[in-house]
Amino acid sequence: MPKRGGTEVFRITGARQGLADDVRGRQRRYVISMTVRTLSVIAAAVLWNVERHVAIVALALGGLLPYIAVVIANAGRESAPSLPSTFVPTPTRPELGAAEAEDDADADRPQGRK
């Protein structure tokens, strides 16, 4: 439905996520990452005398995860969606051009006359 004044219409699905939802999601990812880190440090302590290679990998994971978690948590909001994908164009009506009208008139004439 075209609106008066030529205003553009946007779909609401193109709106960004709310700030509170974005912060909540980043906090959730951080807590999950820190839980995995804690479990890997505990696994490293438990496996140190049993399987040293696995314990070293778990300890390295426990050392790297805090950095990765902070970078992910501070990454900021998602990028805004691009306008062309959310823009709803105004429907246009097809128009007959002058050449098409002449072609139609020629088709209506008998073949012997022009």
Assess contact for 88 and 10: CB atoms under 8 A: yes
Q: pLDDT digit string (tens) for 13-63? A: 666 777 888 888 888 988 998 999 999 999 999 999 999 999 999 999 999
DSSP class of residue 10 equals E
- pLDDT of 5 above 60: no
- pLDDT of 1 above 60: no
Gap between the Cα atoms of 24 and 111, Å rounded: 76
Task: Give the tokens for residue 86.
Answer: 């959310």
Tell me what the mean pLDDT of segment 90-97 comes to: 73
More confident residue, 6 or 22: 22
Helix (H) or strand (E) holding 23: helix 19-47
- Confidence band, pLDDT 50/70/90 cuts, at residue 68: confident
Percent of the chain with pLDDT over 90: 25
Assess contact for 98 and 69: CB atoms under 8 A: no
- Confidence band, pLDDT 50/70/90 cuts, at residue 106: low
Residue 20 is predicted with a pLDDT of: 86
- Confidence band, pLDDT 50/70/90 cuts, at residue 87: low
